[in-house]
Amino acid sequence: MPHRVLNFNPGPSALPLPVLEHAQKELLDFKGTGMSVMEHSHRGKEYEATHNEAIALLRELLGIGDNYHVLFLQGGARGQFAMIPMNLLAKNQHADYVLTGAWSEGAQKEAEKIGAVNVAATTKVDGVYRRVPKPSELHLSSEARYVHITSNNTIFGTQFHTFPETGSVPLVADMSSDIVSRELDVSKFGVIYAGAQKNMGPAGVTVVIIRKDLVESGRTDIPEIFQYAPHAKANSLLNTPPTFSIYMVCQVLRWLKKEGGLASIGKVNQEKASMLYRAIAEHQGFYRCDVEDDSRSIMNVVFNLPTEALEKQFVTEATQAGMIGLKGHRSVGGIRASIYNAVTLSDVTTLVEFMGAFEKRHR
């Protein structure tokens, strides 16, 4: 058995052990071809089978309709912050942005380079976000080209548990940190995009699920590589894709299917999060979660201890106990446990036990 820690990294993050073991086993000889998957041509039938299997698995797991393209692109969510408005927004048009954290602010900033942005809502108070907005708080415009949200906010530990109704205006969601973590009605969205490096695979590939009519009506006066249409037409083989990252996504999705799909993993993720929020509540006065109840993320559980010194000590002792990645984002401090799909119920149980013991030692 290799030495392995419990990995609560916010992303890149834990990968399922069986996936890593499988990748290791065939790293020099993919499917008996005498080559690593990294050495295969992206135009060869062996790689293409994996590429297409990853797309098919994503379609199956998320129940994606035929009226959507599933694309594998590069550049991360930040690339999509720019590509979305470049494709869907013109200089004299506007889009609605719902601000719930640093990532949605980043998306807004890029869109402002392209067209006009209407802030449909922001939950920022004194520089921090403790919740996502209620439907009644959204000032949506029927003329907007789209409405942009961040479904889960890794830094502030908030998450949309129901999505805004946007009528005929396409809803665009950055789901980098909660895609394939729970069941989802894709048909509510115009575009869903996500970097793979949290729930789906290693860094280096970005999934874009986009309604075909939005692809077809996209702008063509921008560079071809930043248009969705040529990528869709070429089945994400317009240029050399990040083949190894896509191979890894395929393995993770296979694992996810074997584990029972999104209904099943969604239950496990809910249970993991509930255990942590319960532990925080049970040790009230020592641990504290400032996120409002309705907005609490099941992916990133953020909390504080009585002092910064104790938070530092918590991270140090956790590391000694074989648990890493628990330090909160540098912009907000505190503790953050990122509990994506590959983090097991047993990992979280260990963390909860540690929290109890730590409180006893330091209260």
Q: Which stretch binds a copy of itself (CB under 8 A): 8-16, 51-59, 60-68, 142-150?
A: 8-16
Q: Does 150 bind a copy of itself (CB under 8 A)?
A: no
Category of 261 on φ-ψ map: left (φ > 0), alpha (ψ -120 to 50) or beta: left
Answer whether 152's CB lies under 8 Å from 175's CB: yes
Give the E-state strand segments of the chain in sequence order: 6-7, 68-73, 94-99, 116-122, 124-125, 128-129, 147-150, 152-153, 158-159, 171-174, 191-195, 206-211, 300-303, 323-324, 335-338
CB-nearer residue toward a copy of itself: 42 or 288 = 42
Candidate residues 11, 157, 218, 266; the one interacting with a copy of itself per rule CB under 8 A: 11
Answer whether 275's CB lies under 8 Å from 267's CB: no
Candidate residues 101, 157, 218, 325; the one interacting with a copy of itself per rule CB under 8 A: 325
Structure-token pair, residue 102: 């640093």
Candidate residues 54, 57, 70, 86; the one interacting with a copy of itself per rule CB under 8 A: 86
CB-nearer residue toward a copy of itself: 64 or 111 = 111
Catalytic pick from 96, 174, 178, 347?
174
Candidate residues 101, 164, 241, 328; the one interacting with a copy of itself per rule CB under 8 A: 241
103 is catalytic: yes
Answer whether 269's CB lies under 8 Å from 261's CB: no
109 is catalytic: no
DSSP, residue by residue, 321-342:
TTEE--BPPTTT-SEEEE--TT
Size of the chain, expressed as the number of residues it contains: 363
Please, which of residues 24-53 interact with a copy of itself by CB under 8 A?
Answer: 24, 27-29, 32-36, 38-42
CB-nearer residue toward a copy of itself: 127 or 223 = 223
Rounded (10°) angle between helices 261-282 and 45-62: 60
CB-hemisphere CA count at 13 Å for 258? 9
Candidate residues 67, 187, 217, 240; the one interacting with a copy of itself per rule CB under 8 A: 240
CA angle 65, 66, 72 (to 5 degrees): 90
Catalytic pick from 178, 198, 255, 347?
198
Q: Hey, which residues are catalytic here?
A: 103, 174, 198
For a copy of itself, the binding residues (CB under 8 A) are: 2-5, 7, 9-15, 17, 20-21, 23-24, 27-29, 32-36, 38-42, 74-79, 81-82, 86, 109-110, 113-114, 195, 197, 202-205, 221-226, 238-245, 248, 322, 324-325
